[in-house]
Amino acid sequence: MLRILHLHHSRYWMHLSRPLRLKTATRLVCCVCAAFLGGQPSQAQDGTVLPRLSYEQAIFQSLRSHPDLAGYEFRLQAAAADAEHAALGPRPELGLEIEDVAGTGDVSGVESAQTTLGISWLLQCDVIDKRVQAAQREVAVIGTQQQIAALDIAADSARYFLQVVAQQERLTLVQRAVVQAQRGLADIRRHVRAGKLPQAEASRASAEVERRSLAAEDVEHEYAVAKYRLAAQWGERTPAFSAVVGSLSAPLPDVDIAYLRQQVTNNPTLAIFLNRERVADAEIALARAEAGIQWRLEAGIRRLEASNDFGLVAGVAIPLGRRDRNAAKVAALQANQNQYRAERNAQEIALETRVYVMAEQLRHSRHVAHAMTERIIPSLEQALADTQHAYQQGKYSYYELASAQQDLIDARLSYLEAQYTAHLYLIEIEKLTGLSLAQFPGYSK
């Protein structure tokens, strides 16, 4: 039975490096739509015991080992190093100057030389602060990109897990249909031997067994493919699990669409634009600081060879020119900032629309699943029971019985498809809003 996950933050992230402990991604991991009851491990043909995989394990392994997340660790390290480097100001300069030497007349030779040993440095306190702020904002951008990547990976893993669950349940249904058809064939053959039914009925029943066996083989193939796709999320080339633990037969929530649309602001995709606005703001402040007056101070000691005396020297250099010499650069950065703001607004509208569509599709799938379980499947179960009774009395042929059986199987498969589709919509909604559906107003089972 599916239920909403509410797991403690550290259960998924305690073994991961600090930058990967992302608030938004953890929220998705903790509530993306399903936790499953445990089961016993099964045994492979070679005797190896293969465990059954839980939803928690699938998400944890994906976030810990997905190859796409490894690069963000190095990007964050590089950005943090850049921020640390930005705090370094220009080096002080040590200078040695000799005057009045090797000339003519009174300044010939070295007797009249004046030797000055001095140090000079550029005052950039404000500029350094702004440079550090700009570098730190870039770190925030990379961190948000990592959040988005982790969210995408968690959501993809959830979808692949649900695919395995769906194929598992489909396989159970079609295998049950094969057994049902085999029992029907055995029963018909007994009637044929007794002379109660013609051989044609046995031939039709045999063909039905083959058709259902082929359908079961198709589902087995899709089941194996789904397991490989899931295992690839954490870099495994061959699934190290026999099955997954779970069921799609969970009650689906009825959500408040207006409330959902308000929660779109939690989406980290919007935070990317906001962080880029802040980066541009920091770069604007840096450009203005660099255009300001940056004083250069000099100090040293001078030796006069003629009198064998020493003296202190000091000086200051102030750059000339207009303070707005970076005006064009500032204007370009402001234009970029306005662009990010406009793109964020457009993206927010697009996300709200997508949430609305997903919520409406969820409602429709919920309605379909409810109709299947409350009206259609019970009616077909009753129709099958009546058809079996009539068949045993010789009033219906095997064709009518097989048709009734197939109608019920198709209805149950349609129910699974509706449930599967609805849970996919749940994953997408939670990814877009960053919320658990159990927290939404109007949640009902």
Per residue in 90-109, pLDDT tens? 667 777 777 766 666 665 66
Per-residue pLDDT 10s for the chain (445 aa) are 233 233 333 333 333 333 333 444 444 444 434 333 333 344 444 555 678 888 888 888 888 888 788 777 777 778 778 777 776 766 677 777 777 666 666 656 666 677 677 777 665 666 667 777 777 777 777 887 888 888 888 888 989 999 999 999 999 999 999 999 999 899 889 888 888 888 988 898 899 999 999 999 999 999 999 999 999 999 888 898 888 988 888 777 777 788 888 778 777 777 776 667 776 666 666 666 666 656 666 777 777 766 677 777 777 666 666 666 667 777 787 787 788 788 888 888 888 888 898 889 988 998 999 999 999 999 999 999 999 899 888 888 888 888 999 999 999 999 999 999 999 988 888 888 876 544 443 333 3
d(CA 240, CA 68): 21
Q: Which amino acid is at 310?
A: F
pLDDT for position 103:
63
Number of folded domains that form the chain: 1
Residue type for position 334: Q
Residue 352 lies in a domain: yes
Q: Helix 23-31 to helix 398-433 angle, to the nearest 10 degrees?
A: 160
Establish if 246 belongs to a structural domain: yes
Strand partners, 315: 298
pLDDT at 295: 61
The answer to whether the beta carbons of residues 223 and 171 sit under 8 Å apart is yes
Per DSSP, the residues of 110-121 read TTT-EEEEEEEE
What confidence score (pLDDT) does residue 344 get? 81
Residue 324 lies in a domain: yes
Is 176 a member of any domain? Answer: yes
Judge whether 366 lies within some domain: yes
Confidence at residue 387, expressed as pLDDT on a 0 to 100 scale: 92
The answer to whether position 444 is within a domain reads no
Structure letter (DSSP) for residue 244: E
Considering the domain boundaries, does residue 83 fall inside one?
yes
CATH number at residue 165: 1.20.1600.10
* Other CB atoms within 10 Å distance of the CB of residue 193: 10
Residues in Cβ contact with 208 at an 8 Å cutoff, skipping those fewer than 6 apart: 181, 184, 185, 402
pLDDT at site 110: 63
Domain that holds residue 222: 9-439
* Cα–Cα distance, 231 to 229 (Å, whole number): 6
What pTM was estimated for this model as a whole? Answer: 0.70
The reported pLDDT for the residue numbered 9 is: 32
- 44 domain residue, yes or no: yes
Contact criterion met (CB below 8 Å) for 170 and 215? no
Contact 72, 145 (CB under 8 A): yes
The pLDDT, as a whole number, for residue 107 is 58
Residue type present at position 280:
A
